[in-house]
Structure 1
Amino acid sequence: MRIISGKYKGRRIIAPKNLPVRPTTDMSKESLFNILNNRFDFEGLRTLDLFSGTGNISYEFCSRGADSAIAVDGDFGCVKFIKQTATEFDFPITAIKSDVIKFLKTNKSSYDMIFADPPYDMDQKLFEEIVSLVFENDLLEEDGMMIIEHSKHTKMDHLMNFSFQKKYGASQFTFFEFDNEEFEDTGISEDDEIE
């Protein structure tokens, strides 16, 4: 994987081959951050990266100036790798080994940006529970955004606070926010295909 932009643009990070992950591809990550660039100034953002795997998304946020990133994953090897990489790059990342649902139920902090990349074969109800917990427990700032990466077989557009979706091959990014009027005004529509 490589860091696409920011202070460490172009730097490659090599994760151990034995980690149980399916990293977001560089191409889809670049498309995602192109969308976010139109909306957010990354400087000072507080971010939450759920099912963080290799830490790929957290590194991108921090390279672009995020103030902090909380990376949550249930695998010890992933958490260890994220901690090592954060130290190497001096990234403000706190890596936490935890079941994501348990973390969301007990966490008291709020974030400007929440990204979740659960296993594609995770039960639909758990995807829905993640969204519910984020909004019911006030984990997202009012002007913040939550993004979930999932397969085309998982349906998210019926959930409360749904804003829009972007498709990229077999993957989809679904965006949630409190008020999506700004996106309607900028011409971003639901179910757009990422080029």
Structure 2
Amino acid sequence: MRARPTTDFAKENLFNVLTNLVDFEQCDVLDLFSGTGSISYEFASRGARSVTAVEINAVHYNFIRQTARELGCETIYPVKANAFLYLKSCPKQFDIVFSDAPYDLEGSGEIVRLVLDNGLLREGGLLIFEHSRNMDFSDRDAFWQLRSYGSVQFSFFKK
């Protein structure tokens, strides 16, 4: 697999922050660029109502499907799709959208605009965009805060 999973340090800190912000059992989550599905499994293990895991790579997608099935995670719904196209046609709204696009993916910052402009967040919802230090979203309207954990940055946006 060629995924770059979120570091354990960053993931642990992210979920410590989220535990104080949301009731996982009341959340529908969208995990974009799911890779191995580690973020999806974290949300599911905390009782998220549903987790839609979008991954374009067939090997990764099949891994998420198989692992969710083996773990009995009936709330994880893998989708094999291009994340950009998925956001343009998705009819559903979510409480949390998490995006871990490859850091070197050209146009990855466009995910923020697509999520916010296409009404994919419910009122009070959060978009969490993982990125490198080279990106800055603090000038965006819905920007709420930046959390930094080593080389991993999480920009939070609130609706």
Matched residue of 1:126: which SS? Answer: coil
User: What root-mean-square deviation, in Å, do the aligned CA atoms of Structure 1 and Structure 2 show?
Assistant: 1.0
Matching residue of 1:185: none
Q: Is the 8 A contact 2:9 2:149 kept in 1?
A: no
Structure 1 segments of 4+ aligned residues over 3 angstroms from their partners:
none
Distance in structure 1 (CA, Å) of the matches to 2:10 and 2:117: 29
Tell me whether 1:108 sits opposite 2:53 in the alignment. no
How many Å apart are 1:171 and its aligned residue? 1.2
Matched residue of 1:133: which SS? Answer: helix
How many Å apart are 1:126 and its aligned residue? 3.2
Distance in structure 1 (CA, Å) of the matches to 2:138 and 2:38: 25
- TM-score relative to the length of structure 2: 0.96
Would you say how many aligned residue pairs link Structure 1 and Structure 2?
158
Tell me whether 1:97 sits opposite 2:80 in the alignment. yes
How many Å apart are 1:27 and its aligned residue? 1.2
| Percent identical | 46
Matching residue of 1:162: 143
Matching residue of 1:118: 101
- 1:46-65 deviation digits (Å, cap 9, x = unpaired): 00000000000110000000
How many Å apart are 1:137 and its aligned residue? 1.2
Distance in structure 2 (CA, Å) of the matches to 1:28 and 1:87: 26
Q: Is the 8 A contact 2:127 2:157 kept in 1?
A: yes
Matched residue of 1:174: which SS? Answer: strand
Matching residue of 1:3: none
Tell me whether 1:45 sits opposite 2:45 in the alignment. no
Q: Is the 8 A contact 2:131 2:152 kept in 1?
A: yes
Distance in structure 2 (CA, Å) of the matches to 1:149 and 1:79: 20
Gaps of 5+ in 1: 1-18, 179-195
Distance in structure 1 (CA, Å) of the matches to 2:123 and 2:115: 12
Distance in structure 1 (CA, Å) of the matches to 2:134 and 2:87: 24
Matching residue of 1:135: 116
- 1:121-143 deviation digits (Å, cap 9, x = unpaired): 123x431x211111111100111
How many Å apart are 1:96 and its aligned residue? 0.9
Q: Which amino acid aligns with 2:147?
A: K
How many Å apart are 1:44 and its aligned residue? 3.0
